[in-house]
Structure 1
């Protein structure tokens, strides 16, 4: 359970730092900038490779000591759905990678293997299918 909370915390932090906006409405300026930064080839879509690279970049930025793990001292405080503080656990890069793959697939509403701007904005709120 502790590791799952840590993964959730890491994902929330990574998403908040630039992978998507938590707003479900049309993309705002910050979400668009985030989308554009992940859309490396400029085709108006974010592929799994572009998404993974963006998320791993954020992971590595957070991993201050470069050991391939995010520890509670490397992640900002997080809160659960009720607003209560959650103590994070250690998250390995392998667990993080598996979690972002599930998140990408859940956000890809039309199943075409890429995220368009609307799917990007909804990514953090989508549930697995």
Structure 2
């Protein structure tokens, strides 16, 4: 038992503790993505927030990033549906507990 307690203390001593600035930055990021203010981010909120760059680059508004609309004018055309599917896949990897929502901890952690 003493060895277990000692092991826990050692583990806690070496694990990184998020700074107040990191905690505040994550909370701010969550608040910006959380369109309905319920303290968690749904897939649709995640896709809406993460699509701002796509929407900005799609100058003709046709839902497809043509080669000339992409950074450097390179790459195959990218349809909005494909972009949203990629975001859904990333959301699924980031949703560590599989509840269909992202909380502040899941947003702060890199996708698995």
TM-score range relative to shorter protein = 0.5 to 0.7
Q: CA deviation at 1:99?
A: 0.7
Q: Partner of 1:126 in structure 2? A: 111
Q: CA deviation at 1:115?
A: 0.4
Pick aligned residue for 2:43 from 45, 48, 54 = 48
2:104 maps to 1:117: yes
Structure-2 change in CA distance of 1:29 and 1:71 (3 Å): farther
Pairs aligned (count): 92
Unmatched segments (≥5 aa) in structure 2: 1-16
Over aligned residue pairs, what C-alpha RMSD do you find?
Answer: 2.5
Higher helix share: 2
Unmatched segments (≥5 aa) in structure 1: 1-24, 78-86
Q: Partner of 2:12 in structure 1? A: none
Q: For residues 86 and 43 of structure 2, what CA distance do their matches in structure 1 show?
A: 13
Structure-2 change in CA distance of 1:68 and 1:118 (3 Å): same
Name which structure has the greater RCO, CA cutoff 8 Å, separation 6+. 1
Higher strand share: 1
What is the CA deviation profile of residues 9-67 of structure 1, one whole-angstrom value per residue up to 9, with x for unaligned ones? xxxxxxxxxxxxxxxx8546555433211101222210112112223344212212212
Q: So what's the TM-score if we normalise by structure 1?
A: 0.58
Structure-2 change in CA distance of 1:28 and 1:63 (3 Å): farther
Q: For residues 99 and 36 of structure 1, what CA distance do their matches in structure 2 show?
A: 23
Pick aligned residue for 1:107 from 82, 94, 99 = 94
Bigger-Rg structure (1/2): 2
